Amino acid sequence: MSETSTGGAVIGEEVLRLTDGRSVLLRSCGPADADAIVAFMAAVPREAAERFRRIGAGDPHQIADGEAAGGCSIIAVADSEDEHIVGLARFDRGTAGMAFAVGGRFHGVGLGRGLVERLRRIAAEQGVADLWATVAPGDQDMLDVLRLVGGDVTGTTDMAEKTVELTARPDEDATEAEVARFATASAASLVPMFRPRAIAVVGASRREGSPGGAVFRALLEGYPGPVYPINPTSPEIAGHTAYPSLTEVPGPVDLAVVAVPAARVVDVAHDAARAGVRSMVVLSSGFAEVGAQGRALQDELLHVVRTSGIRMLGPNCLGLASNDPGRPFNATFGPAAPPPGRMGFASQSGGLGISALEFCAERGLGLSAFASLGNKADLSSNDLIAWWDRDEQTRVILLYLEGFGNPGRFARLARLISRRTPIVALKSGRGAAGRRAAGSHTASLAAGDISTNALFRAAGVVRVDTVEELFEAGQLIAQQPLPAGRRIGVLSNAGGAAILAADACESRHLEVPQFSSTLQERLAAAGPGVAGTSNPVDLGAGANPEVFTAAGNLILDSGEIDALVVVFTPPQGADPAGIAQAAQDLADGRVTVVGCMSGTGRPTAPEDAEWPVPWHSFPESAVRALSHAVRAGEFQRRPLDPAVPAPTGIDAPAARRALESAPPGAWLEPRAVEEMLMAYGIRVARSREVASAEEAAAVQAEFGGPVVVKLMSRTITHKSDIGGVVLDCRTPEAAAEAYRTIATRLEAMGQAQAMDGALVQEQADEGLDLIVGAVADPVFGPLVLAGVGGVEAEVWKDQTLALAPVGPRTAEAVWRDLRGGVLIDGWRGAPGADRARLADVVRRVAELIADQSLLAELDLNPVRGLGVGGEVIVLDARARRAAIG
């Protein structure tokens, strides 16, 4: 993302997809845009221009120099050849007044909403809590937009001027609506790419082995529409007339596949814009993956496609293939075209994409489409999952990811989509290498792969560990109904293989329930050699297809399972094809059916099968795929967090003032941390900062009960490690002695200068020590953490993460998902803690990290629960201000 600056505030460029498939580029403006703003304001209706005058910004030059005038102005631009403004929005930082206007041919496609949503995000980042606008009588366009984004309208009659108030941070309903609109607009923008009426190959070559030559010939073999070769030096290629450029093609082109040197790609993009091409697949390398010069070239290319409304896959990608029944095509230069199927697959790695396509061809695994993301300059996994969710041919989405461009949007979008279309992902980079050094318990515990797990858990994405596992899970989900629960039946002709399947189920937390006596009696009569009926069911080595069918129907009719694993070990003279057909006959959509057959190759399901049974060579892989399908089904049934208001009693401006008391990048003073937490309604033990033993004694006398004396230091993070915490000081003399003891210890260590004083804090009753924290992660955004706390928090590493903010169900779940969660309910007479109050603390901390852009990390450890039904109180807290902001 490129960035522009207006008077010191840096606001990144952002592409906005419109509901009709077009796009515009949003960016901040500066003095150089003044003339264009004058022209724009002259062209919009009078009431639109009047909106800016009502907030004191009637002068276009003042709007252009937004920061210098005490506000923030953003523009929407279109047309790469001659950029012009099609939308304008502004807020005044002093009054929080807001106004926007949209050009005529961009009405009714979501541009007004997009401008307002972008403006409110900027306002929230700059500490503005609420925005307002006045709406003149008859200005229905403005009123409609502000209502759609959640504005609170006052003014009762149609002829009265109305005032609209809008919180700078959107509520959950508004955020979800924004994500849904993104999905709709993104899918609409990809129609020309996945269902093109005509395709051009720029760089088509007579050399069959070149990328351009390979793609052109692959398209000729399968694509039913026109395919135009573009080559300025060859009049014909493979018997087809070639054209010097896209602008000279005689008919309209929806998709251009580009395989020319990187230095020529920007010119090709300009040609595409002139010719009305609506999508591009850029195979060419030499962009951001090769360094700063390539990055600059990619930024230039991205600017052209964004302002032209062109969707671009790549650059530096393997290509795109679609098995749409109406217009299938293979625009990849890989060795194998994917067979038709129900899985949409996107890979961030071209090399892995080639291997995956070969794997699919060998196994007969069908894809609805394949997309190689390459550098993800424009098109990302977010766009692809939005498309595949609306594609009738796609039942499951498979992703290979190496990183996230916009994790927050991915989480919300995937959560919306995976309730209809399951998403299975393989994410590389599980280690903590490359993560920033962490200064608190929370930051170190949140580092590495745990953040990805939190993201996928929130989004309902099923995570797998290997490429083979990705396609095993995808095949099962694509071909069979999702399991309605975790009850698994195992039907086999061999006791050992059946036991392995049952063990695999239990190791993956699936249930293998003992069948009822009635069902067992019926199974015993299913055939002459039945050796076991309790589950697993052992039909005996001689069981024929008829026995498998009879026993399987008894199990399915009983309603005692949610999925069936058919395990067959072929003896001499067996009928594997008959067994495969018997399993297929059982797959009628009532439960999930998966097969395992060793030694004879994998059976293939009939082409006309509505629910084809996938087959595996070993029970463990069959159960592994089944466990992923179970998780996908559980997420679809899981109730979402209700859209409820934020917790009450929050004073966001007071918290911001506390954060502003510290320099950028510095740790807050203890009193500032306490003020910040109290502003969000979080209970903190009473404390006082002291600078001498005498002051420590005076505070103990004031509190009148046992106190804890804690080292204050800007350089020592973990005070307990060096004896910087003294408990149970019950007299003034004891408190004074504790202060002197800490000072003596530091002096003996040669760190006397590290002591900035001490904190004298009321000592809480015995209870359960937990940890709650928050991190503004540079990749994933705001995260909240909960876990088993105390000085051993980093040893046990029993914690869960969630994307902030969180709703009430998620706040409860982060505690329920802990391995040590039983401690909260008072394990063997221990004090425990109140779950409702713990959930409330998590919600408030999540609101804090989501609200306050100046907060980098927060560490509350310990958070002490004083028994079930008792208080939850923070005993120690550290907070660091962000280095920027």
Provide CB contacts within 8 A for 240, sequence distance 6+: 220, 227, 228, 229
Q: What is the pLDDT of residue 433?
A: 40
17-21, 56-60, 97-101, 234-238: the lowest-pLDDT one: 56-60
**DSSP secondary structure letters along 645-658:** PPPSS--HHHHHHH
pLDDT at position 590: 95
Residue 793 has pLDDT above 60, yes or no: no
User: Residues near 741 by Cβ (< 8 Å), separated by ≥ 6?
Assistant: 723, 726
Averaged pLDDT for residues 598-607: 79
User: Quick one: how far is CA 167 from the chain centroid?
Assistant: 24
**Of residues 691 and 138, which shows the higher confidence score?**
691
What pLDDT score does 586 carry? 97
Provide mean pLDDT across the span 676-699.
95
pLDDT of residue 452: 85
Query: At 716, is the pLDDT very low, low, confident or very high (cuts 50, 70, 90)?
Result: confident
The DSSP-derived string for 839-882 is HHHHHHHHHHHHH-TTEEEEEEEEEEE-STTS-EEE--EEEEE-
Residue 740 has pLDDT above 90, yes or no: yes
Residue 434 confidence (pLDDT) above 80: no
Backbone angles phi, psi at 751, to 5 degrees: -125, 35
- Per residue in 568-590, pLDDT (tens digit) is 999 888 899 999 999 999 999 99
261 within 8 A of 292, measured Cβ to Cβ:
no
Low-confidence winner among 4-13, 332-341, 795-804 (lowest mean pLDDT):
4-13
* Confidence class for position 175, pLDDT limits 50, 70, 90: confident
218 pLDDT tier (thresholds 50, 70, 90): very high
pLDDT for 228: 98
Estimate to the nearest angstrom the gap between the alpha carbon of 77 and the chain centroid: 28
What are phi and psi for residue 504, nearest 5 degrees?
Answer: -60, -40
Lowest mean pLDDT among 332-346, 606-620, 771-785, 793-807: 793-807
Q: Is residue 1 predicted with pLDDT exceeding 50?
A: no
Higher pLDDT, 669 or 335: 669
CA distance 284 to 780: 30
Q: Is 247 helix (H, G, I), strand (E, B) or coil?
A: helix
Lowest mean pLDDT among 91-95, 467-471, 660-664, 878-882: 91-95
Confidence of residue 822 (pLDDT cuts 50, 70, 90): confident
Query: For position 2, what pLDDT does the model report?
Result: 36
* pLDDT 10s digits, 104-133: 889 989 999 999 999 988 888 777 878 998
Q: Sorting pLDDT into bands at 50, 70 and 90, what band is 10?
A: very low
794 pLDDT above the threshold of 90: no
Rounded Cα distance between 373 and 398, Å, is: 13
Tell me the per-residue pLDDT of 30-61, one tens digit each, with 9 for 90 and over.
Answer: 888 999 999 999 999 888 888 988 888 878 88
User: What is the percent of the chain with per-residue pLDDT over 90, rounded to a whole number?
Assistant: 65
Among 167-176, 491-500, 555-564, whose mean pLDDT is lowest? 167-176
Separation CA 293–CA 365 (nearest Å):
40
Average pLDDT estimate for 675-689: 95
Instruction: Give the range among 283-297, 582-596, 735-749, 794-808 with minimum mean pLDDT.
Output: 794-808
pLDDT confidence of residue 790: 67
pLDDT tens for residues 835-871? 999 999 999 999 999 989 899 999 999 999 999 889 9
How distant, in Å, are the alpha carbons of 701, 712, 768 from that of 730? 9, 20, 22
Q: Strand, coil or helix: what is 24?
A: strand
- The pLDDT score that the predictor gives to residue 775 is 93
Residue with tokens 């949209």: 102
Highest mean pLDDT among 104-118, 434-448, 726-740, 812-826: 726-740
Mean of pLDDT values over 136-162: 80
Q: Which residues of 362-395 are buried (b: 16+ CB within 10 A; e: fewer)?
A: eeebbbbbbbbbbbbbbbbbbbbbbbbbbbebbb
pLDDT at res. 442: 54
